[in-house]
């Protein structure tokens, strides 16, 4: 069995390889699109370095496993084998690649725009299905673009590979029948150029992102004759954000988790704090009802018997802290800064609960030239 056959068998065994894409996955050698030095996650989710020259069997096995492979940390500032803070480029999990291509619903003759070339593997799959002349892919990172273009050319898929700002699309070859993004746009900030460059009746498949989710949903949009894109969330996914839309990570180094000092406000709530973050559906609903913030969880320790659920908004330097343990409520809340984050989050949660706890796919997202809205339907 060849390596591509192994990958196809793996994907088919779990029912995530559409028949229409089987030939492409068999034909395109994923290992040809990977650098010699990569990182893959261990069972705990921690990235581990792998070098093709010193561990070729493990490197090749990773290439044809249904796993995501990190190819860059911190925009290249972190050099292999070190592990950086932020993953900034990767080869997506093949199962997710297959899912996105399935939702794209390409047909013979379609012209494709891809945002985020990455390794070039996704573009090669599209080129195999449609021919290279019909695929345009845009990559913002110069080093990654060079490697991808080389891999695409040497494997026989010379698609149009553009070094540029993906938020602008690529007008020179527009319009496109399909647009696919392998990076996430923030909710409310999907680049309208993607819509503008899509033909009426065309489809855009892209992940969206919210800070409160830490990731977001995969969304399939259809563009109408008026240049309005309407879509619904399909499933929760995890993609890196567009570099142009990155937001600072919450800096909690100066936070007093004892809840004292400054204008810290103490209160209690009867809402179990963990309920505002324990499912994808509630995190999405809260994201649609309030301005961005991030959250995190600290489990109990030997010195601290309670859980801590924190929320932070960097631009306003606001934060909130909820404490809870097995004894039940009422639960302690501490809030600091111009935003009262817990109050906002609790109000959004209670609204979602009053609506019957709708699932994420109940929302409709509308993108026009002058506004972006998300509504419960």
How do residues 109-134 score in pLDDT, each as one tens digit? Answer: 999 999 999 999 999 999 999 999 99
The DSSP string of 163-214 is ES-GGG--GGG--EEEEEESSBEETT---HHHHHTEEEEEEEEEEEE-TTTS
Residue in this structure with the two tokens 């509630």, named with its chain if needed: 282
In the chain, the percentage of residues whose pLDDT exceeds 90 is 89
* 89 sits in which H/E element: strand 87-91
Gyration radius (Cα) of the chain, Å: 22
Q: What is the pLDDT of residues 94-105, one digit of tens each?
A: 999 999 999 999
Banded pLDDT at 201 (limits 50, 70, 90):
very high
pLDDT of amino acid 250: 61
**Quick check: 255 pLDDT over 90?**
no
Banded pLDDT at 303 (limits 50, 70, 90):
confident
Stretch 311-323: mean pLDDT = 91
> Which residue, 2, 208, 8, is CA-closest to 94?
8
**Max Cα–Cα distance, the chain, nearest Å:** 66
Q: Which residues contact 50 (CB under 8 A, 6 or more apart)?
A: 37, 38, 39, 40, 58, 59, 62
Is 101:121 a contact under the CB 8 Å cutoff? no
pLDDT of amino acid 253: 57
Residue in this structure with the two tokens 């080129």, named with its chain if needed: 127
C-alpha span between 234 and 236 (Å, rounded): 7
pLDDT of amino acid 247: 80
Q: Identify the sign of the CA torsion 336, 337, 343, 348.
A: negative
Banded pLDDT at 328 (limits 50, 70, 90):
confident
Q: What is the pLDDT of residues 140-186, one digit of tens each?
A: 999 999 999 999 999 999 999 999 999 999 999 999 999 999 999 99
Stretch 28-39: mean pLDDT = 98
Domain boundaries, the chain: 93-244, 265-354
**Quick check: 304 pLDDT over 90?**
no
> Which residue, 159, 181, 292, is CA-closest to 229?
181
| Averaged pLDDT of the chain | 94
Query: Which CATH number among 3.40.1350.10, 3.40.50.150, 1.10.287.70, 3.40.50.720 corresponds to the domain 93-244?
Result: 3.40.50.150
**Quick check: 47 pLDDT over 80?**
yes
Banded pLDDT at 263 (limits 50, 70, 90):
confident
C-alpha span between 222 and 231 (Å, rounded): 6
3-state secondary structure of 251: coil
Stretch 16-42: mean pLDDT = 97
Banded pLDDT at 315 (limits 50, 70, 90):
confident
pLDDT of amino acid 262: 62
pLDDT of amino acid 329: 84
Banded pLDDT at 261 (limits 50, 70, 90):
low
β partners of residue 50: 38
Strand order in the sheet with 87-91: 47-51, 37-41, 69-73, 87-91
**Quick check: 248 pLDDT over 80?**
no
CA distances from 300 to 252, 271, 287, 322 (A): 18, 20, 27, 13
**Quick check: 71 pLDDT over 90?**
yes
pLDDT of amino acid 327: 81
Residues identified as active-site: 92
Q: Which residue has the higher pLDDT, 292 or 230?
A: 230
pLDDT of amino acid 152: 98
């Amino acid at each position: 069995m060849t390596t591509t056959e192994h990958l196809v068998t793996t994907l088919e065994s779990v029912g995530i390889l559409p028949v229409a894409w089987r030939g492409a996955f068999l034909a395109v050698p994923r290992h040809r699109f990977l650098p010699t030095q990569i990182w893959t996650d261990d069972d705990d989710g921690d990235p581990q370095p792998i070098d093709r020259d010193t561990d070729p069997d493990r490197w090749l096995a990773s290439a044809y496993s249904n796993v995501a492979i990190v190819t860059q940390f911190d925009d290249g500032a972190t050099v292999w084998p070190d592990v950086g803070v932020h993953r900034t480029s990767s080869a997506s999990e093949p199962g997710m690649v297959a899912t996105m291509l399935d939702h794209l619903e390409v047909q013979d003759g379609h012209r494709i725009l891809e945002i985020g070339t990455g390794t070039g593997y996704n573009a090669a799959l599209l080129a195999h299905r449609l021919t290279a002349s019909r695929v345009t892919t845009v990559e913002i990172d110069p080093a990654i673009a060079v490697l991808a273009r080389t891999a695409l050319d040497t494997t026989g898929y010379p698609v149009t590979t553009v070094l540029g700002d993906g938020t602008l699309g690529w007008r020179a070859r527009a319009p496109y029948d399909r647009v696919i993004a392998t990076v996430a746009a923030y909710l409310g900030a999907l680049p309208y150029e993607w819509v503008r460059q899509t033909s009426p009746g065309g489809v855009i498949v892209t992940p969206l992102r919210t800070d409160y989710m830490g990731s977001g949903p995969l969304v399939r949009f259809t563009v109408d004759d008026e240049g309005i894109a309407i879509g619904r969330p399909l499933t929760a996914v995890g993609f890196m954000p567009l570099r142009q839309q990155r937001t600072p990570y919450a800096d909690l180094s100066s936070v007093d988790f004892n809840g004292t000092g400054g204008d810290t406000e103490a209160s209690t709530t009867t809402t179990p704090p963990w309920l505002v973050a324990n499912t994808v559906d509630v995190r999405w609903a809260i994201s649609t009802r309030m301005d961005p913030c991030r959250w995190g969880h600290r489990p109990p320790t030997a010195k601290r018997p309670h859980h801590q659920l924190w929320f932070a908004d960097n631009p306003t330097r606001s934060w909130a802290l909820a404490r809870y343990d097995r004894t039940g409520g009422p639960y302690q809340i501490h809030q600091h800064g111009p935003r009262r984050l817990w109050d906002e989050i609790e109000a959004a949660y209670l609204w979602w609960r009053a609506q019957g706890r709708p699932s994420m796919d109940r929302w409709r997202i509308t993108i026009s030239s002058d506004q972006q809205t998300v509504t419960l339907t």
